[in-house]
Structure 1
Amino acid sequence: MTTTPAKPKKKSFNLRRERMLGRATEKRRYDLPLNKGAGSGFLMVLIALMTFLAMMAVAASFTLSAMTHRWSSGLENRVTVEIPATDMDGNLRDADTINDIATKALSILHAHPAVIDSQRMADAEIRKLVEPWLGTNLLNDTIPLPALITVALRPDTDAPTMGQLTISLRSAASNIRVDTHEEWLTDLLRFTGAMQLGALMISLVIGVTTVTAVAGAVRARMAVHRADVELLHIMGASDGYITKQFQRHALILALKGGLAGALAGALAMMITGWVSGEMGAAILPDFTLSGGQIALLCLTPLLAAAIATTTARFTVLRVLSTFP
């Protein structure tokens, strides 16, 4: 009877990965103690503040853009016809005379081919317009108010047509005024454009400040750990590996600071929107953001992280180029 040889028992080996320089075993780790020290916290707070300011500047630019669109779209191809409460000699007109002139002006406007629509404003609306300047005590039925007519024109209405319309209206009263809103609207749009440019300049300053702060923090860290960096060089670590250490450190700090700044910015915008809603000012637009605008604001922390990582990389490589 033949016996089969017993199979050798498999030995259990505790395989240990060789710790090569620049490779982590199971958990990512720093070969340089970059996560220790007070400078990391300061840089994170600074990035949070920069992210907060950048979000507020971008949100302000969005608000100014909405305000410009609202004002321009609301007054495009529109004019206001004013029938003054006084005649050419400065004498007050009575209410019946103003009503007769307004009726004639409306008939002229309805017959003109460039006019789409014309409506006379009610006396109650006019009183609300002049109440902040005259007060409620001076506004009574005995004081005549000027008549105002809002006119919607065709989009292709040119300056000669407007001149002919003005001449036709002044046949009803020689001192009728036709306000095209062009002069003050141009100044207002120029002002909002300057404000938007200011918001863009603030964003650029914030970006430059972030680059400068990260570069300074990285240089300070390399000065503190210069001996460790030189030791890694002697042991064969490449510039790329040392650079990745600082890049990862800057990325983590920037993401933490950027998220904190973004949350603070979102809270500030919510409070601002609530306060503006409580004000009820008709001249201001709603502080509501579209989906695309919200997406752009959400990219602010990622942009801060990208700036910090790129700055850390080029700063480390530049400093390493000076090493022997």
Structure 2
Amino acid sequence: MSAASTRVLETARTGRGMVWVIAVMLFLTVLATAGGIGTARATGAIGVQLGGRATVQVAAADPARRERDVGEAAAVLAGIAGVSQVRVVPRAEIARLLSPWLGGDAADVDLPIPAMVDLTVADKASVTRVRRALAAALPGARLDLHSAALAPVRRFLTVMSVLGLALVAMMVAATAFVVVLAARAGLEAHRGTIEVMHMLGATDVQVARLFQRRLSLDAALGAAVGGVAGLVAVALLGAQASALGSELLGAVTLGGLGWGVLLLLPFAFVALAAGVARRAVVRSLGQML
């Protein structure tokens, strides 16, 4: 039986292509998992950073009146319950933000750029009080909630997170299917050897253990290749996103927990392959013999 076992272990190469299939599957799974975790964290970060943030725009053609109105708006806002961090945005800062579109004209004092007041509101009731106070004191002022402006972005990131989770589930299911096919192909290719092993006293569980070991080794090799390639790709993409200097892309990070999940994926794939292979072989042996 020892010789037969060795033969099965050394010649059960029918599922050798499974190594590269699992490598590709794990590579894609690492990317999808990283994308899902990163977008989920970005969605949360946007909610935290922009929660309660708002801007009041005061537009007036006359610069003197505009400055007077923005000062009055800041004074009104500072006296409203639930409103904090009231700050008049300097015109130079607004000009700097508009310079990519207006160039040097953004600093022109005659350009009717609206004056702005940044503030933080505690809740929806505070927003209602701000709107009422502005309508009474400065009917022309407009309140813009940052969270409302970026709501489409948050919805998009949420959809991307769900899509990443769905892709991971499909990759896991496809990997399990490939392992089942490899196990059945190996059994069919070595049917004669298995029959001899049974005549020598080997049980279905013992035969299944041999194939489980062979397929687990193949899965481990594929997981190592795909896992390393996936982690390197994620690290490179993260470095590229950070180098762009985008505040939104900078929020797409994995964190310690996210990297821990990615590092566990290769081991999870090997465990999946071992469990699926054992079950598939035992079931197929029961049908064959």
Residue 3 of structure 2 corresponds to residue 32 of structure 1: no
Distance 1:195 1:237 in 2: 50
* Letter of the structure 2 residue corresponding to residue 103 of structure 1: G
Aligned to 1:313: 278
Give the SS at the match of 2:8. Answer: coil
Larger radius of gyration: 1
| Residue 146 of structure 1: how far off its partner (Å) | 0.6
Unaligned runs of at least 5 residues, structure 1: 1-20, 86-92
Cα deviation, 1:278-307, whole Å, max 9, x if unaligned, reads 211122235654332222211111111111
TM-score using structure 1 length: 0.82
Aligned to 1:153: 121
Counterpart selection for 1:193 from 128, 141, 158: 158
Aligned to 1:8: none
Counterpart selection for 2:130 from 165, 181, 193: 165
Aligned to 1:4: none
Aligned to 1:15: none
* Letter of the structure 2 residue corresponding to residue 57 of structure 1: A
Aligned to 1:122: 90
Aligned to 1:75: 50
Distance 2:248 2:257 in 1: 24
Distance 1:71 1:59 in 2: 18
| Residue 36 of structure 1: how far off its partner (Å) | 5.6
Give the SS at the match of 1:79. Answer: strand
* Letter of the structure 1 residue corresponding to residue 18 of structure 2: L
In the alignment, is the contact (CA less than 8 A) between 2:224 and 2:266 conserved in 1?
A: yes
- Where in structure 2 are the equivalents of 1:67-106 lying within 5 Å? 67-85=42-60, 93-106=61-74
Distance 1:103 1:240 in 2: 82
TM-score using structure 2 length: 0.91
Distance 1:54 1:173 in 2: 54
Cα deviation, 1:130-154, whole Å, max 9, x if unaligned, reads 344x431653412121111111123
User: Which has the higher relative contact order, 1 or 2, with Cα contacts under 8 A spaced 6 or more apart?
Assistant: 2
Residue 151 of structure 2 corresponds to residue 175 of structure 1: no
Aligned to 2:191: 226
Give the SS at the match of 1:150. Answer: strand
Superposition RMSD on alpha carbons, in Å? 2.2
Q: How many residues align?
A: 288
Q: Looking at secondary structure, tell me which structure has more helix per residue.
A: 2
* Letter of the structure 2 residue corresponding to residue 71 of structure 1: I
| Residue 163 of structure 1: how far off its partner (Å) | 2.5
Unaligned runs of at least 5 residues, structure 2: none
* Letter of the structure 2 residue corresponding to residue 62 of structure 1: I
Aligned to 1:139: 106
In the alignment, is the contact (CA less than 8 A) between 1:254 and 1:301 conserved in 2?
A: no
CA 184–287 in structure 1, closer or farther in 2 if over 3 Å, else same: closer
Distance 2:58 2:202 in 1: 85
Aligned to 1:255: 220
In the alignment, is the contact (CA less than 8 A) between 2:80 and 2:129 conserved in 1?
A: no
Aligned to 2:247: 282
In the alignment, is the contact (CA less than 8 A) between 1:218 and 1:312 conserved in 2?
A: yes
In the alignment, is the contact (CA less than 8 A) between 1:262 and 1:301 conserved in 2?
A: yes
Counterpart selection for 2:26 from 51, 55, 62: 51
Cα deviation, 1:176-207, whole Å, max 9, x if unaligned, reads 11122343444332222211110010000000
Residue 253 of structure 2 corresponds to residue 322 of structure 1: no
CA 253–35 in structure 1, closer or farther in 2 if over 3 Å, else same: farther
Give the SS at the match of 1:82. Answer: strand
Give the SS at the match of 1:319. Answer: helix
Counterpart selection for 1:62 from 37, 47, 70: 37
